[in-house]
């Protein structure tokens, strides 16, 4: 089946976490003008669209994912006029903008919630999910993704409300048609403004199981991809229909087998999904090295599930919710850092789907050596830390776990230069700066032809110039190899093979018999140039991409 060409399949995305991207007004927090000032940098990198995490009015309990007004810009980021200017200038240089759409919940400061909690008889009461308590306290045993009960007692009306995330993020009641009507009109308002799409937050949680359901096996099963969700998603799809936009759903709990229903070309709810399979392989607190075989299986499951036009993938190794990929999947050790960051670039940028680079990933930013819990901002991480302390874990041990798992690892300010505040701001930023800014920063990497940044540029250019790397089929080789990730992409005569050693050790392999070595030419490599042999040895984190010579003529 030929795959329909569209801009969002061909573009490479870049995720911006605005508070840590670039500060221009000197308050230590990034802003919209900061994003605008870096458009040329992004263009030069080869970026086709940016996804900006929430910039709406918010008390910032969950850094913007608790929205109190969907149609206002938070003043620390700027004004609506500045947003319009950003949109206009981005479009002028050929960069599209997608926004974060947070419609599973609002802030408890949103006017709907303030009304809703004011009385059981209030007109907005049913905008949220309220229930009476039981003899044991909350209405049931559901737990929040951020820790503790998913229910919060409200003194005012003597009932509990549901919150899948923090207690300041009450869940909207999607069974109420008025909620959907108001959300959909807000979505249309943003689309009419000319934005180019949405990353749709926590969308697999909008449907809840009956409140009698117990959360025995999977603690989140009662609000994760619950049957009946399709009714809401079909309505949402109708809002997006007939617009030339990119929609990517955050789809915790959606399996590869179900994915085609969510992202099929004609009937899908979204253009693509952020799946959780390959990333969850790192979540293990104790894990020290990547399980390469399982990683390849997870990637391949999604590549195959959405092959041949059955759908489209969203590709990522980092975002604002997980530690830095080079620290988890690669290595921070000086000898391996650069090679492993480049190896990870080749691991995801050339798979079938649309790649999303997270700010700083392109220069190999690493986890932050957080000194104490005081340096942490993320609400879930603080909860988790104090849960460990209450359970008797030594503070030093608890901090070790936090350092490895905290999502603030990827929220430290972008390292533009080696200056005191990393060229991010003129004053002390809202969040600690990684001390490795001397070695890891944009300015130095721009000047170094062998830098991670310049490698990203080359890989992106390769993808842009070769249709096979966008629309070609994917094939996994050596599935059982414990160190090497070997995959092919092909479209008609055009064929590529990517070989990556995802380990700190030398790896050897017999290449597949049908890969006749003399027919392949090296396009890019993260170490010195090598000639491929049928039996070959790969250095730690070595990564290469070859193109079939026949297709070159």
Q: Using CB under 6 A, list all residues that contact ligand NOJ.
A: 62, 65, 102, 165, 201-202, 250, 320-321
Place of tokens 């901002």: 377
Residue 250 is among the residues annotated as catalytic for this protein: yes
Min dist CB 528 to ligand NOJ, Å, is 39
Place of tokens 């919150």: 163
Longest dimension (CA), the chain: 77
* Helix and strand numbers, DSSP H then E, in the chain: 18, 20
If you ran DSSP here, which 8-state letter would residue 104 be given?
S
Min dist CB 67 to ligand NOJ, Å, is 9
Strands ordered across the beta sheet of 272-274: 272-274, 246-250, 197-201, 96-102, 49-52, 13-16, 354-358, 314-315
Q: CA 163, 169, 173 angle in degrees (round to 5)?
A: 60
Min dist CB 320 to ligand NOJ, Å, is 6
**Where do runs of H (alpha helix) occur along 266-394?**
277-280, 292-305, 325-328, 334-348, 379-390
**What residue number has its CB nearest to ligand NOJ?**
65
Nearer to ligand NOJ, 62 or 362 (CB): 62
Contact 18, 361 (CB under 8 A): no
H-helix or E-strand containing 547? strand 543-548
Nearer to ligand NOJ, 14 or 477 (CB): 14
Nearer to ligand NOJ, 57 or 250 (CB): 250
Nearer to ligand NOJ, 113 or 165 (CB): 165
Contacts of the segment 174-177: beta carbons below 8 A, 24+ positions apart: 174/206, 174/207, 174/232, 176/126, 176/127
Structure tokens at 118: 């004011």
Min dist CB 258 to ligand NOJ, Å, is 20
Structure tokens at 235: 């309505």
Nearer to ligand NOJ, 62 or 377 (CB): 62
Q: Which of 57, 62, 171, 201 is catalytic?
A: 201
Min dist CB 203 to ligand NOJ, Å, is 10
Nearer to ligand NOJ, 170 or 413 (CB): 170
Min dist CB 396 to ligand NOJ, Å, is 27
Structure tokens at 23: 């500060």
Residue 201 is among the residues annotated as catalytic for this protein: yes
Contact 193, 96 (CB under 8 A): no
Place of tokens 């005081």: 374
Q: Which residues are catalytic?
A: 201, 250
């Amino acid at each position: 089946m030929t795959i329909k060409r569209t801009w969002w399949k061909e573009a490479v995305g870049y995720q911006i976490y605005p508070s840590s991207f670039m500060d221009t007004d000197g308050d230590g927090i990034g802003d919209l003008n900061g994003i605008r000032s870096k458009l040329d940098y992004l263009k030069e990198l080869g970026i086709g669209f940016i996804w900006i995490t929430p910039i709406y009015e918010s008390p910032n309990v969950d850094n913007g994912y608790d929205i109190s007004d969907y149609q206002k810009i938070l003043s620390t980021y700027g004004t609506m006029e500045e947003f319009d200017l950003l949109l206009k200038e981005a479009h002028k240089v050929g960069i599209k903008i997608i926004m974060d759409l947070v419609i599973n919940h609002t802030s408890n400061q949103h006017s709907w919630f303030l009304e809703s909690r004011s009385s059981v008889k209030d007109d907005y009461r049913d905008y949220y999910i309220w229930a009476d308590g039981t003899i044991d306290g909350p209405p049931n045993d559901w737990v929040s993704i951020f820790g503790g009960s998913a229910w919060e007692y409200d003194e005012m009306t003597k009932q509990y409300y549901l919150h899948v995330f923090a207690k300041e993020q009450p869940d909207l009641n999607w069974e109420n048609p008025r909620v959907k009507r108001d959300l959909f009109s807000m979505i249309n308002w943003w689309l009419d403004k000319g934005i180019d799409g949405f990353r749709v937050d926590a969308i697999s949680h909008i449907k809840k199981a009956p409140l009698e359901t117990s959360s025995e096996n999977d603690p989140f099963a009662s609000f994760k991809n619950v049957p009946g969700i399709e009714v809401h998603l079909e309505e949402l799809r109708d809002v997006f229909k007939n617009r030339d936009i990119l929609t990517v759903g955050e789809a915790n709990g959606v399996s590869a087998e179900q994915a085609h229903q969510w992202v099929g070309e004609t009937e899908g709810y979204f253009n693509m999904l952020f799946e959780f399979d390959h990333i969850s392989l790192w979540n293990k607190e104790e894990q020290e090295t990547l399980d390469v075989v399982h990683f390849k299986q997870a990637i391949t499951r999604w590549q195959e599930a959405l092959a041949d036009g059955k759908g489209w993938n969203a590709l990522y190794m980092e975002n604002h919710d997980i530690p830095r990929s080079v620290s988890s999947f690669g290595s921070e050790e000086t000898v391996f850092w650069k090679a492993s960051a480049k190896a990870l670039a080749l691991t995801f940028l050339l798979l079938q789907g649309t790649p999303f680079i997270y700010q700083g990933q392109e220069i190999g930013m690493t986890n932050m050596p957080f000194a104490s819990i005081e340096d942490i901002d993320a609400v879930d991480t603080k909860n988790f830390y104090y849960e460990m302390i209450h359970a008797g874990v030594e503070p030093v041990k608890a901090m070790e776990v936090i350092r490895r798992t905290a999502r603030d690892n990827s929220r430290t300010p972008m390292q533009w230069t080696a200056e005191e505040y990393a060229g991010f701001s003129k004053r002390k930023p809202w969040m600690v700066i990684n001390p490795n800014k001397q070695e890891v920063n944009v300015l130095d990497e721009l000047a170094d032809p062998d830098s991670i940044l310049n490698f990203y540029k080359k890989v992106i250019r390769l993808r842009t110039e070769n249709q096979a790397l966008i629309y070609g089929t994917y094939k996994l080789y050596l599935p059982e190899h414990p160190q090497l990730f070997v995959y092919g992409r092909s479209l008609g005569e055009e064929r590529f093979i990517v070989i990556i050693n995802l380990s700190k050790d030398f790896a050897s392999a017999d290449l597949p018999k049908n890969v006749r070595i003399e027919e392949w030419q090296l396009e890019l490599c993260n170490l010195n140039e090598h000639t491929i042999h049928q039996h070959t040895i790969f250095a730690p984190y070595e990564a290469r991409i070859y193109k079939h010579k026949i297709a070159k003529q």
